[in-house]
Amino acid sequence: MKIKSIRGVKDILPEEIDKWQWVEKKAHEIFSLYGFKEIRVPIFENTKLFQRGIGDTSDIVQKEMYTFEDKGGEQITLRPEGTAGVVRSYVEHKLYNPPSLLKVFYIGPMFRYERPQAGRFRQFYQIGVEAMGSSNPSVDAEVMTMLMDFFSNLGLKDLCLEINSLGCPDCRPQHREVLKNAIREQLDLLCGNCNERYERNPLRVLDCKNETCSSIAKTLPKTAEHLCEICSDNFQRVQNFLTDVSVPWRLNPILVRGLDYYGRTAFEVKSSSLGAQDAICGGGRYDHLVEEFEGPATPCFGFALGLERLISLVPFDQMESIERNPDLYLVCLGEMAQTRGFKLASELRQSGIFVDRDAEGASMKSQMRKADKSKARFALILGENEIQSGKFVLKSMADGNQDEIDLSKDYIEILKKHLKPQTVPETTHG
């Protein structure tokens, strides 16, 4: 029976993995300069976590979650995003004790039942960041600076950081009222989706991709026009901090986010090279989510970026190859040599030498061809004669030069000398 992968998911094959690992390594490097540490939380959680966390009225909760009942009768959801799980973990493990700013990041797959298209998948990877425990606008600016720093370290250009403020529970109701009144007059012109949103979450009308809706959205009252004094001052300070460190940004007054937990600063990073799915990253401030899950009042700021979209943009011209070719290819001729070679390969690997070998016991010619294909620097040849004499042949794949290695001596050290100048790591075990 032939089974194919599910629509909207993709395999990341060995030939692409270097790029993924390099980007992830860069994330570790840059984020650690800002004091962020990795956190790993489960891929599935209780469904209620996302319903409450992301919001019942969001598209994600309404239409996009992979939810099922497990064998114990519990409602489980494959995480559509990472923030809710991190907040759950924060509360569960009392990470607010002792009080300080917790700075974490995560890398992993997320799941959304969306209509697949270029740059949009049903399983996709995110790198997410959460700074938990400060409402200071310098934290908003610092996290966005770190993100832009990360992007420029990857060689990305022509990205646009768009920011907006969504206000707080004090000023948002007023904006919502004004917005609903303005939308009501134009409901007939708006798409079916926006008619639904008008009832559930009118803010999302500002964000509709439909052409008519988005031109109407430009005329609707903006959040930034209805901010209370504290939110307004806060937003101004975020802008000042970004400008202070020369991070270019642009005000997008109709930027709203697809998840309900945001307030005050919201942002997205877009690329003109991405087509319809142009958001490479999104995030913002969420000051009330920890309380929602019975933790102490903990203002937070974070973001997540889509790794597939990011990787499609990275030039990779600065990527130093992290692929390592074998130091040695073991060519074993005959049954006895195969047995001896199996043990020898293990000994050599224990001492940090990268050994590849042929398990099939093919002819000399075929094994040498495989050695060549593996890009090994040397072939170590073992036949019945070599086993009898205790002396193996080490052949350079580059120039064909041969040396004899005496197995009765300290052959690992002798081999290591031959393997220089390419460095071989020191023994880690054995």
Contacting residues toward ligand HAM, per CB under 6 A = 81-83, 112, 114, 120-121, 124, 126, 128, 130, 258-259, 279-284, 286, 302-306, 308-309
Nearest Cα to Cα of residue 209 among 275, 269, 265? 275
Q: What is the phi/psi pair of residue 413, to 5°?
A: -65, -40
Q: Give the nearer residue to ligand HAM in terms of CB position, either 308 or 386.
A: 308
Min dist CB 108 to ligand HAM, Å, is 12
Across 169-209, the runs of DSSP E, i.e. the strands, are: none
Q: How far is the CB of 332 from ligand HAM (least distance, A)?
A: 47
CA distance 252 to 210: 18
Query: Which helix or strand (DSSP H or E) is residue 44 part of?
Result: strand 44-46
CA 190 to chain centre: 35
How would you classify the pairing of strands 159-165 and 250-251? parallel
For 207-252, give the DSSP string. G--SHHHHHHHTTSPPGGGG--HHHHHHHHHHHHHHHHTT---EE-
**Beta carbon nearer to ligand HAM, 111 or 411:** 111
Smallest distance from ligand HAM to CB 306, Å: 2
Q: Which is nearer to ligand HAM, 130 or 386 (CB)?
A: 130
Instruction: Supply the minimum distance, in Å, between the C-beta of residue 116 and ligand HAM.
Output: 8
Torsion of Cα atoms, 46 then 50 then 52 then 58, to 10°: -150
8 A C-beta contact, residue 166 and residue 263? yes
Nearer of residues 126 and 374 to ligand HAM, judged by Cβ: 126
- Residue 272 or residue 423: which is nearer to ligand HAM going by CB? 272
CB 187 to ligand HAM: min, Å: 27
CB 328 within 8 A of CB 358: no
Q: Which is nearer to ligand HAM, 304 or 333 (CB)?
A: 304
Element (H, E) at 181: helix 172-184
Shortest distance (Å) from residue 278 CB to ligand HAM: 9
Least distance to ligand HAM, CB of residue 150, Å: 14
Q: How many CB atoms lie within 10 A of CB 418?
A: 15
Cβ neighbours for 229, distance < 8 A, ≥ 6 positions apart: none
Least distance to ligand HAM from the beta carbon of 5, Å? 15
Q: How far is the CB of 251 from ligand HAM (least distance, A)?
A: 19
Identify which of residues 59 and 356 has a Cβ nearer to ligand HAM in the complex. Answer: 59
**N-term to C-term CA, the chain:** 44
If the CB atoms of residues 120 and 200 are measured against ligand HAM, the closer one turns out to be 120
For ligand HAM, the closer CB: 85 or 202: 85
- How far apart (Å, rounded) are the C-alpha atoms in residues 363 and 369? 10
